Structure 1
Amino acid sequence: MKHTEHLYEKTISSQTIYEGKVVKLKVDEVLLPNGKTAKREIVNHQGAVAVMALTDEGKLIAVRQFRKPLEREIVELPAGKLEPGEEPLACAIRELKEETGYEAESFTHLSSFYTSPGFADELLHLYLATGLRKGEAQLDEDEFVDVVELTLEEAQELHRLGEIRDAKTVVALYAWESRKLHGQK
């Protein structure tokens, strides 16, 4: 998409502050549309996928895990970051299997969205997985999760209680509610 001149911020300089396994942090100096300059702290991220896996019985497969930035457990969709050059669908298939043990007959792309565009460029791809077959999870060595199955009503209650709080799972919850309202699975 072409930028609109009266909104565009031109990069004058860019400095990488940190480069880790998951993110890169940089500080850009930008020229604002009014001629002044400002600093922008930017997190670069490879991108990620999340999977809204629904059983034939209409239950959501989710994971409960501890999230260090929050210092608490939350319930969320199985998800993970894209490897360099990896297609989002391949990542969705891999992450569902690794985190939950489930495999799916069908994957449907529901949406792609920026998770926090005020400071990060992470683009998350949300997939619906159906026709599930249960198997053994293959968690990464630093990954610890409990797999949970939730009805829509149970997921809504966990959202109300603040146990579902992350953007990808909240977006999926609203997508699931919308699908049910329109007579879809």
Structure 2
Amino acid sequence: MADANRQDGQNDAHLKETQVASEEILKGDFLHVMRDTVSLPDGRHTSREYVIHPGAVMIVAQLDDGRLVLERQYRYPMSAVMIEFPAGKLDAGESSLACAQRELLEETGYSAREWARAGVLHPVISYSTEFIDIWFARGLTLGERKLDAGEFLDVFTATPAELASWCASGRVTDAKTLTGLLWLQNVLTGQWVLDWQPAAA
């Protein structure tokens, strides 16, 4: 199968970098930072610093009336409260769908009757291995939130048009939420099709 990130028949050898050495800079509770020495396509050496990330999920959850489930959460590195779709990182050994179901329930109190995996995004390809699986959820039922210790966030709903206006005005700048809106708009117009499945038991 051809690599989806390049055109069929195209040889990427002239672009690839090869690891020569690797050094661990930081091993924290969440992030793992590395500094590698790499050989460039022209044979010269340089360093690449990057963050190893366990991966995450984002959930585009839509109520029966079409409104979207969103969150407002303070993000310390940005020193700001951000509007986002529900999301969270994968636990060790956890499947993507199980993580999406867990995070939606824990953060918002909602569980969903049906789920569809839309695709994946890589939010910071220049310095992290992080990927975010994009899930859609519908047939929502509201229950009780189960926030993690030290987690504080507001849950609210908005129409797709409201979210689009916030993205256009710069009120929403979170990369995964911008991508989620792009996906949603294409799903709503029928240009992109989702493969729905019942929630796991």
The percentage of counterpart residues that share the same residue type is 36
Among 48, 53, 65, the alignment partner of 1:40 is 48
Q: State TM-score, norm by structure 2.
A: 0.87
Q: State the Cα deviation string for residues 69-118 of structure 1 (Å, max 9, x = none).
A: 11101110110000111110000000000000000001100011211111
Aligned partner of 2:81 in structure 1 is 73
| Equivalent residue for 1:28, pick from 36, 51, 54 | 36
Of 98, 102, 106, which residue of structure 1 is paired with 2:106?
98
Secondary structure of 2:78's match?
coil
AA of the residue aligned to 1:36: R
1:173 alignment partner in structure 2? 181
Candidates 86, 96, 118, aligned match of 1:88: 96
C-alpha change, 1:101 and 1:135, in structure 2 (3 Å) is same
2: CA distance, partners of 1:21 / 1:148: 30
2:64 matched to 1:61?
A: no
Q: How many residues align?
A: 185
Aligned residue among 8, 14, 32 for 2:16: 8
What letter corresponds to residue 62 of structure 1 in structure 2? L
Gaps of 5+ in 2: 4-10, 195-201
- Report the AA paired with residue 53 of structure 2: H
Per the normalisation by structure 1, the TM-score is 0.95
- Structure 1 residue runs of 4 or more that deviate by more than 4 Å after TM superposition: none
Unaligned runs of 5+ in 1: none
RMSD: 1.8
Whole-angstrom CA distance in 1 between matches of 2:185 and 2:18: 41
Q: How does 1:149-164 map to 2 (within 5 A)?
A: 149-164=157-172
Q: Mean Cα displacement is larger for which, 19-28 or 96-105? A: 19-28
| Partner secondary structure for residue 176 of structure 2 | helix
